[in-house]
Structure formats: structure tokens, C-alpha cells
Amino acid sequence: MVRSLRSQTDARAVVQPEPTSLLLLLRDFQPLAPPNALDPLEVYPPAGLVQQRGDGAVAVAAILARQLDDVRRQARFVRPAAWHLSLRGAVLAECAAGAALGHAQFLPHMVDALAAARRAQMGYSGRVTPADRRHDGARSAIRSELMSQQHFVGLDVSVKETAICVVDLRGEVVHFASVESHPVVISEHLQGLGIDFGRIGLEAGPLSSWFYAGLVEADLPAILVETRHMHAALSARINKTDRNDAQGIAQMMRVGLFKAVHVKTPASQQRRLLLISRKLLQRKAYDIENDLRGQLRTFGLKVGTVGTARFDARVRELVEDHSAIAAVVIPLLLARDALRTQLARLHKLLLEAVRVDPVCRLLMTAPGVGPVVALTYRTCVDNPARFGRSKCVGAHYGLTPRLYQSGEVSRTGRVSRCGDAMMRTALYEAALVLLTSPRGRWSSLKAWGMGVARRRGVQKAIVAVARKLAIVLHRMWRDGTQFRWSAGQTA
């Protein structure tokens, strides 16, 4: 509590006729030796730097955690009577001191111990209305003021350096820095500021999962922001710089204008690496084969319809009598063989991963879903609980039509194609097999898709079945049930 703190004519300054003492309960603080008691202290957020100055505006707020030396007694801070005390500055400095030193957990005790004095301070500063003072609402107002001293951080990540911008609740920049792009370096830098963070935002990207894991491990409230939302918010700025982008991200965190993305588990990221690497080798092998077909046609050499196993022998047969052409084509065939060999190894790893995964084996009971589609769905969804309804899965992966509605205008367009393209491609291929494979078993899902094909065409039917299949697979995964071939079949 504060002794002899009396109302004066001037609402912004109080002149005490004699020295006054400030008493605080030491259970709310940690013991450290006090400085010169006759010199006021001022805290500069966010670094928590303490300096002794001749300004008495922060005298009431100058008792900090590291100024007390004995937890068994109370500390007394004496200020000269000649000082003119600005109560508004005292309250602000007090809030900054608590946040800068990281003692937010003690603020409720401080409010209880100093409620009367702070009520007077807030009344002088005009922060609490007369109605609040009449209804004794100053205490809750001060508590809200103290507990809301959070800051928001924006991280603009690049390969070498990361721009860090910290803003307060009013949107003012209180700190900016550029550090090495490493989660440990960024975590240590933020923790060294000694302030309370509400949100720490960064855009989803190649390094985002690594950064997110490091920040969360350091108990920092990190959030990954969806790239389309991030681009839309930052594109309003005229000048694009790392500093402006970091500040824009920090402002998005402050106002809550963002869409957080799901961060996949390390196991899902490893499965995704396997799928992407396998697809890369497969695509490169196809590129070599297609290029050879096109280049040989220039010389009248037609490969024709051959399978993967006979492609190499067929090309060698065509160029056997053309030594100049063979000198160029043979190295491409050797490269293709190497790609096919490594592709077979990765495909074997994929089959082994699916064989030991009960979720993938469950998903493969659905028609059109093989090992690749099952593992892709398992990897992309990662956690079925993150979708509140199964119908949201199709929309999340861009299989629902766009809608434009404004006033009297309402147009429905093609599918949005948002979300993971690998997932969307896998569902499309599964739907294509389900509808067109002559060896496929008849099911209610196939009957529904054939009806759509008769009414709207085959292409739209494939997309519709892909969307429906995404919903069905999610429900199967969530409920742990196998695919139901007919509507009347029970689980």
C-alpha cells in the first residue's frame, strides 16, 4: 500500500509536503539489493533496462522485483517531498515494470495489495470513469490493464536471416531485429526481451515446420498462418521489405486477422517425404521416355505402344543402325534405368509402410483406394479430429465449387483447387478407377457416381466422386469401420 497519497488540485501532478514511503509485500517479489533509495528508477520496455534518472514520474512504480533484499521483511522506498509526481506516468511505468521483468503471475497479488492506491492513481489519470469510481470498478479495470500487457511478434523468415518485429496492444512497434534463421537463435532472442507474448506468427513455408517445432519447444505461442491469407493482408502495403512484412505479420497477430494452419506431426512429414520423392523419380522417368519418343519421331523412328519393361529394348532396336543417334540416346536410357531402379526401392518402402499401418489398411477397403492413395490420405489429413465434420475434408482440399455472391449476382464456378494438390490428385485418380475400372465391384458410391455422369458428364462425375470419397474415407477413419458397399450394410 501507499501511505499519505492524497488528492490534489492538479489531476496530473501531486506535491507531497513531506517524504512518503511505499510499502510492498515481499511475497510478491524476488529478493535483490535495492539501489539508491533517493533516486527514482525508470524501466524501458521491452528489454527491462533500469536507469536512475531525476524524473519523479515513476517513483511510485519504481519498486521492482530485483530491488528487494530480504523476503522476511518489507522494503521501504523513500522519495523527497519536492518531487512532482505524475500519477499517469507512475501507472504506466508500473505496468511496464511488471511485464518487462516477467512477473505477470504476481500481478493479481499486487493488485490486491495496492488496490486503494491504484484506484486513486487511476482516478487522477482519467483512465477510470467517475461511474467506475462510484461503483468501485477501478480495481477490475486496473486488473484488466495489468493483465493485458501482451506483445505480438511477426517473423518474416528467409533462408539466411529472419526479421523480427514486436508490437504492443496499440499496434506500436516496440522492437525490431534481424537474426539468423534458426529456431534456437530466434527463441533465445525473444526470451531475452523479458516480455509476455500473446501470439508469434510466421507464414507457412519450407522452414515453417522446423521453426514452429523449435518455438513451441521453447514454450512460445507460435502460430503458422495460411499463405493465401498472409499474401492478401501483406499485399496492401506499397513497399515490400522484410521489415514491413514482419510488421504486417505482427499486426495480423494483434488483431487476430489470420487463419492458422495445421502443423503435421514428424511421422506425417516423413511419410510425405517418401511420397514426394517417389513421385519425383516417377515423373523424371516419364519425362525421359516421352522425350525419347518425340525426338526419335524426327528421324522416322516410332517407338509405338510398349510397356515399361520393353521400352529400353525397343529403343535400342530402333537406333541400332544409327550410330550417331545411338550415341545420344543410350545415355538417356541408362539414366532412365537408374531412375526406375531407385523408384522401385522407394515403392517398396511405401508398401512396407502401408503394410504396418492399420489406418492405411482400413482405408484400402474402399474401392479405388490402393497403397499410394491410402498413404497419401493418411499423410495429408494426419489427424481426423481436426475436421469437425467429414464434409469439410472435400472443401479443404479444393474439391468444392467456388461461389461468388454480391447483391443480386450469384455465380457458381469450378472447383477451388485449394489445399494440397497431392491429395487432390490422389482422390481424383481413385475416383477415376472407381468409376471406369471394369473389374471393380459394384457399390452404392459407384451407382451414385454413374448417375452424376449421366446427368452432368464424366469429368464432373469424377470430381464429385473424389469429393464424396474424401468424406467417406474420413468417416471410416474416425469411426474405425470398413467401407460399406451398399446403403443397407451395417458396420
Claim to verify: residue 139 and residue 19 sit in the same structural domain: yes
Query: Which range of residues forms the domain containing residue 93?
Result: 14-147
Claim to verify: residue 460 and residue 432 sit in the same structural domain: yes
The answer to whether residue 28 is domain-embedded is yes
> Which H/E stretch holds residue 20?
strand 20-24
Residue 439: its pLDDT value, please? 84
Claim to verify: residue 328 and residue 385 sit in the same structural domain: no
Q: What is the pLDDT of residues 413-436, one digit of tens each?
A: 999 999 999 999 999 999 999 999
The answer to whether residue 7 is domain-embedded is no
The answer to whether residue 490 is domain-embedded is no
Main-chain phi, psi angles of 57, to 5 degrees: -65, -20
Share of the chain above pLDDT 70, in %: 69
Mean pLDDT is lowest, of 133-142, 164-173, 184-193, for 133-142
Specify the pTM. 0.68
- The last residue of a domain, from among 255, 281, 311: 255
Claim to verify: residue 303 and residue 218 sit in the same structural domain: no
Domain containing residue 194: CATH number: 3.30.420.40
Claim to verify: residue 385 and residue 426 sit in the same structural domain: yes
Helix (H, G, I), strand (E, B) or coil at 308: helix
Average pLDDT on 316-334 reads 94
- The last residue of a domain, from among 304, 324, 356: 356
Claim to verify: residue 19 and residue 142 sit in the same structural domain: yes
Q: What is the pLDDT of residues 119-135, one digit of tens each?
A: 444 443 444 344 444 44
- The last residue of a domain, from among 221, 255, 289: 255
The answer to whether residue 412 is domain-embedded is yes
CA atoms lying within 13 Å on the CB side of residue 27: 4
Claim to verify: residue 46 and residue 135 sit in the same structural domain: yes
Claim to verify: residue 333 and residue 426 sit in the same structural domain: no
The answer to whether residue 427 is domain-embedded is yes
Claim to verify: residue 352 and residue 294 sit in the same structural domain: yes
Claim to verify: residue 56 and residue 132 sit in the same structural domain: yes
The answer to whether residue 8 is domain-embedded is no
Which residue, 69, 150, 136, 72, is CA-closest to 107? 150
Average pLDDT on 396-404 reads 94
User: Is residue 58 very low, low, confident or very high in pLDDT (cuts 50, 70, 90)?
Assistant: very low
User: Is residue 148 very low, low, confident or very high in pLDDT (cuts 50, 70, 90)?
Assistant: low
Claim to verify: residue 214 and residue 125 sit in the same structural domain: no
Domains: count for the chain: 4
Q: Which three cell numbers stand for residue 323?
A: 550410330
User: Is residue 32 very low, low, confident or very high in pLDDT (cuts 50, 70, 90)?
Assistant: very low
The answer to whether residue 1 is domain-embedded is no
Output the DSSP codes for 363-409.
HTTSTT--HHHHHHHHHHH--GGG-SSTHHHHHHTT-SEEEEEETTE
Average pLDDT on 285-293 reads 95
In sequence order, the 6+-apart residues with CB closer than 8 A to the CB of 374 are: 354, 359, 360, 361, 363, 364
